Amino acid sequence: MKKTIAPQKRDKSLVPLSREHHFGLLFCWKLRQGLKNGTDLEVMRAYVRYFWDNILKEHCQEEEWLLERVLPNDDTQRARLHEEHKLLEALVELVEEGSRMNKDLFRVLEQDLNDHIRWEERELFPYVQAAANSDDLELAGQLLAHKHDPRNDTFTPEFWVAKPTKA
């Protein structure tokens, strides 16, 4: 029997970041589909750069900004978040360089980002909600909401869409 994970009640201050995790998981799915469809790796490389520049980089910066305001400097979860973001950025840079461009690099990026998002949703955000001062979290959330612009993924071509087979 498959274990189901109940949705977590998210503090409203973290909701904008939590909603964006959907884009990150969709990005991972698109990479998997692109590999499955045999997409030209240069197209996928352009998509990784696009996604980093337009969605993921700023998302990571906002998460770190929020945690700087609500958790102590020596907090291990805060440090883990920062280290994982640095790892994701390094993977994006490796993809961008194109050196030894192969499918495994996309798989590593997809898996690491997927695992990172799952960790944030299941462990980090509940931890922040319990550990942070609720007034500090609310204020940081208000500041974040004020400066947060909704992001959209408008990359083309849509390489993740399966090509119809010719009869």
**Does 165 reside within a domain?**
no
**Does 111 reside within a domain?**
yes
Predicted local distance difference test score (pLDDT) of residue 140: 86
pLDDT in tens, 58-82: 999 999 999 999 999 999 999 999 9
**Does 24 reside within a domain?**
yes
**Does 136 reside within a domain?**
yes
**Does 124 reside within a domain?**
yes
**Does 164 reside within a domain?**
no
CA distance to 31, 41, 48, 93, 159, per residue, from 99 (Å):
18, 12, 15, 10, 22
Domain count, the chain: 1
Tens-binned pLDDT, residue by residue, of the chain (167 aa)? 556 555 567 888 888 888 889 999 999 999 999 999 999 999 999 999 999 999 999 999 999 999 999 999 999 999 999 999 999 999 999 998 876 668 899 999 999 999 999 999 999 999 999 999 989 999 888 888 877 677 788 999 999 997 756 55
**Does 13 reside within a domain?**
no
**Does 167 reside within a domain?**
no
User: Which domain does 39 fall in, by range?
Assistant: 18-147
